[in-house]
Amino acid sequence: MNQAKLPIVGVICDQEIIGPHAFHIAGDKYLQALIKVSNCLPVLIPALADEKIINQLMTQLDGVLLTGGYSMVDPLQYQDEVAKTGTKLDPARDNTSIPLVIKAVEQGLPVLGICRGFQEMNVAFGGSLHQELHQHAQFFEHRENKDASLDEQYSDSHKVKLTANGKLAAVLGESSIEVNSLHTQGVDRLANNLLIEAIAEDGLVEAFSVVSASTFAMAVQWHPEWKVSHNPHSTKLFHAFGQACLAKQITRESHG
């Protein structure tokens, strides 16, 4: 660790029922990526949708990470048809993460969205989603094979082209990369406040940045947190996010 005090990154929780009890949980792989590559201290943000808690957190955080998850963003959040019966939803997370990301950007906090977090950010700024990409003939299969091993599920599955002179291209130093793909939903209408940073070969938006943000505010549809230290592109992304969080920490403490 280079500095005595690490930047604090809030990590959005999923609300899950395990046995008879409700839990607020976050995946270990995201926390490990923040600790080992971003050099940040992750703290969990419970999915309580409490405005007072969110407002207090904004004064104490140096960054926000919106993780992937097994649930889908509720289509009622973007005025679409009700989700099919049996669709796993997490309204507690939706109602926490959507206002959270708007406040974070407004207050100059670095934000990184991953998979579900990517979809949440699009919805938060007024965009919409395809509920089931595989029902649209123009898109190839973006879902993982759940019968395969985790290593196979998270292996590279398609290429994305990075926007020339874009923010993500600058971070990665590439014009295109191979990424993994483990998602059912995807961008339908991109929010006006978002700028495309990467696009798949089938035309699906796979990364974007927030136009109005004063600092790092990007999201990717793939999973860079998976074995992050083994993938140079993932390492660069989490490192850049960590550097932005460090800069925010220095600014916050100098004004504290």
Q: Is 223 a catalytic residue?
A: yes
Q: Is 245 a catalytic residue?
A: no
Write down the catalytic residue from 40, 206, 225, 233: 225
Write down the catalytic residue from 13, 40, 115, 245: 115
Write down the catalytic residue from 130, 183, 223, 233: 223
Q: Is 183 a catalytic residue?
A: no
Residues 6+ apart with CB under 8 A from 221: 115, 118, 119, 179, 181, 183, 186, 187, 204, 205, 206, 207
Q: How far apart are the first and last CA of the chain?
A: 23
Q: Give me the active site residues, please.
A: 115, 223, 225
